[in-house]
Amino acid sequence: MRIAVDARPLEERPTGVGRYLDGLLSAWLRARPEDSFVLLSPRRVLVSPRLEGRVAVPPTPALPGTFWLQTVAGPAARRAGADAFFGSLGILPLACGLPGVATVHDLTPVLFPQWHSPKNRLGFTPFIGATVRRARRIAAVSEATRRDLVAAFPDAAGKTRVVHNGIESDAPGTGGEAPHAGRPYVLYLGTLEPRKNVARLVAAMETIWDRRPDFPDLVLAGGDGWGMEGFAGNVARSRHASRIALAGYLGAGERERWLRDARVFAYPSLYEGFGLPPLEAMAQGTPVVGSSASSLPEVMGGAGLLPDPMSVPDIAQALERAHDDDAFRGRAAVEGPRRAASFTWAAAAAKVRVLFEEALD
């Protein structure tokens, strides 16, 4: 089969959906080299080395993303000889004329619009209902996301399947200094945006440092998202500002090195459709403090700690246990990699391909 793909997530600095798309398509082509993909985007597509030469990337006009998807993407897919269209960002071109399959990562633009910019809301909320009606099949990245989708759009129930994300180890970065100059650190890794709950994480660390000056530093790694105006200034004014490092975006290889060397990985998110970073930390055997919200209990199982993300004391208590409790740390070193190994891109790709087979039947 030949699939046209909304390839907008494949950017120079990919976030979760970009890494999802790269991992999924790479595993798909390893298993089914007879299939082919046409990557469509109104901006430059960054094709990873493992996809280089194995996908077509025809040019399309540089237009605003939502307008491009609903006007240009469908005809471009038909011209490229595609059999179906893959809505990797959860939305399909509604006048495409080809069978469509969409992956829904989360419902936050609908459930929590305050966490998104007007541009993000405009590109999702007005089109998700029509996408549910038009899609032949839908992949939800977790059972939590499937429940949210079906609750909001009951028509999705019969056509939606849970297809968990996978992880795949990058080659660790080589050379250079040890992460954080070799000092112990608690690591957060992800886009800095409201739903990631980074402000409460900082507050929890501050309460610990007040009592325990020798507790590890906090490293916040990730690109700037929407809705965090003033955050860097607040960090700079913290009474423990010297203990908080803003590391910026970490590329492939560097992510694994920083995750592996962290004393604790902290991800007390308010809502996740899936939650790749905690799983990647677990794969390294690093103790993880997640949260009890949305999909994180489903993904992490019993291999990490799941505090109430609304409670600074709960987060602080979990951070201290993850640092201090040798028995927990020993279990995390064994159970984390074991749990992470059960989530593979090969399995995800096989399940998504079945959805396309059903859509084309």
Contact 258, 172 (CB under 8 A): no
Q: Do 336 and 349 sit in the same domain of this protein?
A: no
Mean pLDDT of the chain: 95
Q: How far, in Å, CA of 89 to CA of 212, rounded?
A: 43
Q: What is the DSSP letter of 192?
A: B
The candidate with the shortest Cα–Cα distance to 149, out of 116, 114, 111, is 111
Q: Do 195 and 327 sit in the same domain of this protein?
A: yes
> For residue 289, what are the contacts with CB-CB under 8 A and spacing of at least 6?
264, 265, 266, 267, 268, 304, 305, 307, 315, 318, 319, 322
Q: Do 107 and 52 sit in the same domain of this protein?
A: yes
172: pLDDT strictly greater than 70: no
169: pLDDT strictly greater than 80: no
Per-residue pLDDT band for 226 (boundaries 50, 70, 90) equals: confident
Mean pLDDT score, 334-343: 97
Contact 356, 28 (CB under 8 A): no
Per-residue pLDDT band for 313 (boundaries 50, 70, 90) equals: very high
Looking up tokens 């996740």, which residue turns up? 272
- % of the chain at pLDDT higher than 90: 89
What confidence tens digit (pLDDT) does each residue in 233-283 have?
999 999 999 999 999 999 877 999 999 999 999 999 999 999 999 999 999
The CATH number assigned to the domain holding 267 equals 3.40.50.2000
Strand pairing category for 244-248 and 264-266: unpaired
Neighbours of 251 (CB within 10 A): 11
Mean pLDDT score, 162-184: 79
Mean pLDDT score, 318-323: 98
Q: Do 152 and 200 sit in the same domain of this protein?
A: no
Residue 17 lies in a domain: yes
Q: Which amino acid is at 304?
A: G
226 vs 296 pLDDT, higher one:
296
Its domain, for residue 11, covers 2-166+344-360
What confidence tens digit (pLDDT) does each residue in 107-138 have?
999 999 999 889 889 999 999 999 999 999 99
Q: How far, in Å, CA of 324 to CA of 318, rounded?
A: 10
Q: Do 150 and 183 sit in the same domain of this protein?
A: no
300: pLDDT strictly greater than 90: yes
Q: Do 240 and 290 sit in the same domain of this protein?
A: yes
174: pLDDT strictly greater than 70: no
Q: How far, in Å, CA of 36 to CA of 239, rounded?
A: 55
Q: Do 185 and 236 sit in the same domain of this protein?
A: yes
Q: How far, in Å, CA of 296 to CA of 175, rounded?
A: 34
pTM of the model: 0.94
The domain total for the chain is: 2
Residue 172 lies in a domain: no
pLDDT at res. 176? 60
Residue 173 lies in a domain: no
What confidence tens digit (pLDDT) does each residue in 69-112 have?
999 999 999 999 999 999 999 999 999 999 999 999 999 999 99
Residue 72 lies in a domain: yes
pLDDT at res. 205? 98
Largest CA distance in the chain: 65
Residue 48 lies in a domain: yes
Q: Do 156 and 298 sit in the same domain of this protein?
A: no
pLDDT at res. 221? 96
Q: Do 215 and 316 sit in the same domain of this protein?
A: yes
Q: Do 184 and 65 sit in the same domain of this protein?
A: no
Residue 174 lies in a domain: no
If DSSP codes are grouped into helix, strand and coil, which group holds residue 48? coil
Segment (H or E) for 289: strand 288-289
pLDDT at res. 177? 75
Mean pLDDT score, 54-59: 96
The candidate with the shortest Cα–Cα distance to 51, out of 31, 85, 27, is 27
The candidate with the shortest Cα–Cα distance to 40, out of 1, 67, 68, is 68
pLDDT at res. 175? 54
The candidate with the shortest Cα–Cα distance to 141, out of 90, 193, 103, is 103
Q: Do 314 and 253 sit in the same domain of this protein?
A: yes
Residue 106 lies in a domain: yes
Residue 143 lies in a domain: yes
Q: Do 84 and 188 sit in the same domain of this protein?
A: no
pLDDT at res. 259? 96
